[in-house]
Amino acid sequence: MIDRKKELVVNTLIIGIGNLFTKAISFLLVPFFTIWLTTKEYGDYDLLFSYVSLFVPFLSMQLEQAVLRFTLEDKNKGTVYFKTGFTYLLITSILFIPLALFAIKFEYQLPFVFCTVTYAWQVYSIEYLRGLNELRKYSIANIFCGLCTIFLSFFMLSILNRGVGGLLTAFGLSYLLTSIYIFFSTKLYIDLSIKIFDISVFKKLIYYSFPLLPNAISWWITSVSDRTIINIFLGSSFNGIYAVSTKIPTLITVFYSIFNLAWQQSAIVSSSDKYEIRKEFYNATYEKLFSFLFTSSLVVVTITPFLYRYLLGYDYISGIYIVPTLILSTLFLNLSQYQGGILLGQKDTKTNGVTTVIAAVLNLIINFLLISQIGLYAAAFSTLFSYIILFYLRLNKLKGLFEKKKILTQMAQASILLYIISFLSINLGYLWLQIILLASAGLYFIYINKHMFKTVVNKIRRK
């Protein structure tokens, strides 16, 4: 039990070094994007990038998740797993390029295709590093990708003034350079050819990964299909406003995503532990995670007025009122992903997939029913409702490991308090009240998580 906790802390710290840098960039670049791009251009970019994330799972068939899972179990076969899967990915990429270029014509076609293919390669390569437990190399690769993104985005937008196409190209080049770095740093280029494709290994990988494809598509629907619907019914400018408002909760997601990557590995490894040991480990981790996410949500919702006042363009101000709902959505999403890590550790990809599909369908239905009546509020509410259902369904599946009634009561109380604080901070709009609430939320965050901070500091000192 103690070893599992130590392992989780250490993995989180190592992954966090690189991942925090990379994830933070996606938020820190937003103010510059709002300066360099109009609301329409930002809406177009955000929508196109959401389609990049949709096409990538089709190219890879989620094989990176299978390679991660089986390499963690047997690192000696890691190279065979990687090369077999990557050979398949190269073939699908070669087929995808002419199909995408000639099947559908649109303004930013070439940079979109380039970004999609290179992103698939980067995701696949970097997940392999996690499978090898090469977390330091994983962090270095993320930092390298982040630095490339900063430099190339500035070069394409500020110097060359290439707009949306230039931004997609900048991201695509960053992914390509990162993949090349991983290939050479791990010497994966050795004997990489179609001849090393192992059909029996491929069958093993695809049997595990294929059920995750509907899950990935459903995640896309629940996470970013809102942009497509907004673009159709309300237009690109509204999509740009909504896209910026969704960036605020990434302040929470940045830190959770770091934990989640480490958690997936711990959940997989701990799945072989005895039931009572696993139950104690999962509950202890959940309580600390909930405390951190909830107090983080309070800080983010109280800092939101200052972000819109001092960092984001005035054209985006109308999105501030849906931010609290999106923050609460993120809280339910992150806790659902925590549950999903446990299910993956148990190799229950079916439950992960089915619950995500249900959430995705509900998201679409609510969006279509309400978008023309209440506009952007429909997109935010549909996201929140779908994640609440996702959280409930997974909790119900794992009710033998968790106290269901206690957790549901806890989440209801947290939701009510978050909305009360957001109303006082955002809707009333008094600067003195906003400052008091932000200071109070910050102090509360530090007080509740002080033991976690002490643990992290001690680990860093020992390192």
> Can you give the pLDDT at residue 340?
85
Query: Model confidence at 435, in pLDDT bands (50, 70, 90)?
Result: very high
Higher pLDDT, 353 or 207: 207
Instruction: Return mean pLDDT, the chain.
Output: 83
209-255 pLDDT per residue, tens = 887 787 777 767 766 778 788 888 888 788 888 888 888 887 787 66
Higher pLDDT, 221 or 371: 371
DSSP state, residue 187: T
Query: Model confidence at 10, in pLDDT bands (50, 70, 90)?
Result: low
What is the average pLDDT across 392-417?
92
What is the average pLDDT across 349-370?
87
What's the half-sphere exposure (Cβ side, CA atoms, 13 Å) at 254?
20
Judge whether residue 271 has pLDDT over 70. no
| Of the ranges 201-205, 339-343, 397-401, 451-455, the best mean pLDDT one | 201-205
> Can you give the pLDDT at residue 116?
95
What is the average pLDDT across 423-447?
91
252-265 pLDDT per residue, tens = 876 676 665 555 55
Q: Which tokens hold the place of 278? A: 């696993």
Judge whether residue 94 has pLDDT over 60. yes
- CA gap 316, 43 in Å, rounded: 11
What is the average pLDDT across 274-288?
80
Distances (CA, A) of 136 to 116, 133, 153, 285: 26, 9, 26, 23
Higher pLDDT, 194 or 47: 47
CB atoms within 10 A of CB 273: 15
- Residue 134's region, left for phi above 0, alpha for psi from -120 to 50, else beta, is beta
Judge whether residue 275 has pLDDT over 80. no
Query: Model confidence at 20, in pLDDT bands (50, 70, 90)?
Result: low
Q: Which tokens hold the place of 243? A: 């896209």
> Can you give the pLDDT at residue 79?
83
> Can you give the pLDDT at residue 268?
56
8 A C-beta contact, residue 18 and residue 142: yes
Query: Model confidence at 19, in pLDDT bands (50, 70, 90)?
Result: low
Higher pLDDT, 44 or 91: 91
For residue 284, what are the contacts with CB-CB under 8 A and spacing of at least 6? 5
137-167 pLDDT per residue, tens = 888 888 899 889 989 999 998 888 888 899 9
Query: Model confidence at 360, in pLDDT bands (50, 70, 90)?
Result: confident
308-349 pLDDT per residue, tens = 888 776 677 888 999 999 999 999 998 998 888 788 777 677
* DSSP characters over 298-344: HHHHHHHHHHHHHTS-GGGGGGGGGHHHHHHHHHHHHHHHHHHHHHH
| Of the ranges 75-89, 98-112, 416-430, the best mean pLDDT one | 416-430
> Can you give the pLDDT at residue 227?
78
25-54 pLDDT per residue, tens = 766 777 778 778 887 888 788 888 888 988
For residue 213, what are the contacts with CB-CB under 8 A and spacing of at least 6? 57, 58, 61, 62
What's the half-sphere exposure (Cβ side, CA atoms, 13 Å) at 228?
15
Higher pLDDT, 174 or 221: 174
What is the average pLDDT across 391-407?
90
> Can you give the pLDDT at residue 297?
94
Share of the chain above pLDDT 70, in %: 83
For residue 154, what are the contacts with CB-CB under 8 A and spacing of at least 6? 32
CB atoms within 10 A of CB 84: 24
DSSP state, residue 134: -
- CA gap 324, 223 in Å, rounded: 16
315-326 pLDDT per residue, tens = 778 889 999 999
Judge whether residue 385 has pLDDT over 80. yes
- From the list 349, 379, 422, the residue with the least C-alpha distance to 68 is 349
Q: Which tokens hold the place of 162? A: 């290439």
- CA gap 381, 402 in Å, rounded: 27
> Can you give the pLDDT at residue 1?
44
